[in-house]
Structure 1
């Protein structure tokens, strides 16, 4: 099992990362909450990973910290939740926000995530409640922008087409092409990078 990678960032195209580790390029998919914690291209980075082996592929999922990886591993144990949906959930909200949704039966927030219908949200709340009871989120913990996606300063220079990159990233997370395009166009402002645009679009849909 590959549990941790330390190397130099070669490429960043949300949610995909190419990391050079001693001359070997590892392709890793990260939830956007972890992706935006990465340094810029050409800088060293350390990510915690979860390795998935399927009949047709070997996939690496990466996380900025062990807490997010731990939650990802709990999510994929739930009925009907595979790695792709778990990645989508952690792209739309932080681990702390998800735990709070589960502990306080916040179905209305969960169903806003692509691929999470009412039945899936109810199942997640039921199955995850006991698993997450010791995660330390209290009823006094407010939901803040930091728990979702916030418009921090861009981590690297804007791409040639931030709008198209943002639409592609959202589409890859499970939103329809129409949903992604509408959300991006509503949030698009001059000079925005793809990262800022994706964050703003995600925030508007959660």
Structure 2
């Protein structure tokens, strides 16, 4: 797998779909790389034509596409996002362009559906899915890149959520309802209020009863 390119800056273009495309020369080969707006901003203020770009290569049956990022944090977040069902490369790029890496991480850790929904193409259900699937995977990134975020949101609260999820499923609630109530608990900061698991479970059951269809 390609991790990064070092080479010469040639130019930046925008295609018909407004994607930002970097032309970069590496070992006398010119590469087309779709990049984030943060990287575009950095390159527009560059002091040298020699640049480093962090890369993700996406291979399809009929094509190979290169994506470029300003740093490893952006690169790793992109890779985590595209592994979520229904979140493709273009939506992942849009999320990074709209929120930036750290704001995106904080939105996921705090269960902030509204903030994630600021990104074009991200509705409430998509935002909830991103929170549910990405939250538990962010701790290593937060520690590795020393991001200032309340770690309990992406760490110890996960054990509590797992306990509540397991209990609700054992009680016969369906997975969709359980997923919705876990987002509700996080979005309303219940996990940061030091409420014990039994009280949280009662809160979850009450919410499910009030919001059943």
In which range does the TM-score fall when normalised by the shorter chain? Answer: 0.5 to 0.7
Q: CA deviation at 1:36?
A: 1.1
Question: Which structure has the larger Rg over C-alpha atoms?
Answer: 2
**Runs of 4+ in structure 1 over 3 Å off:** 39-42
Report the equivalent of 2:93. Answer: 87
Q: After superposition, where does 1:55-66 map in structure 2 within 5 Å?
A: 55-66=61-72
Q: Per the alignment, in what secondary structure is the counterpart of residue 111 of structure 2?
A: coil
Does residue 32 (structure 1) correspond to residue 37 (structure 2)? The answer is yes
Distance 1:41 1:84, change over 3 A: farther
Match of 1:178 in 2: none
Point out the structure with the larger helix share: 2
Which residue matches 2:110?
104
1:22 and 2:27 correspond: yes
Pick 1 or 2: higher relative contact order, CA cutoff 8 A, min separation 6. Answer: 1
Deviations, residues 4-23 of structure 1 (Å, cap 9, x unaligned): 11111111125110001121
Q: TM-score, normalised by structure 2?
A: 0.61
Q: Is the CA contact (8 Å cut-off) linking 1:11 and 1:41 kept in structure 2?
A: no
Partners of 1:86 and 1:41 in 2: CA distance: 29
Q: How does 1:116-195 map to 2 (within 5 A)?
A: 116-134=122-140, 135=142, 136-139=147-150
Residue segments in structure 1 that go unaligned for 5+ positions in a row: 141-206
Q: Point out where structure 2 has 5 or more consecutive residues left out of the alignment.
A: 15-19, 152-213
Describe the superposition over 1:94-124 as per-residue Cα deviations: whole angstroms up to 9, x where unpaired: 1111000001111111112111111000000
Alignment match, 1:7: 7
The CA RMSD measured in Å over matched residues stands at 1.9
Would the aligned equivalents of 2:98 and 2:118 in 1 still touch at CA under 8 Å? no
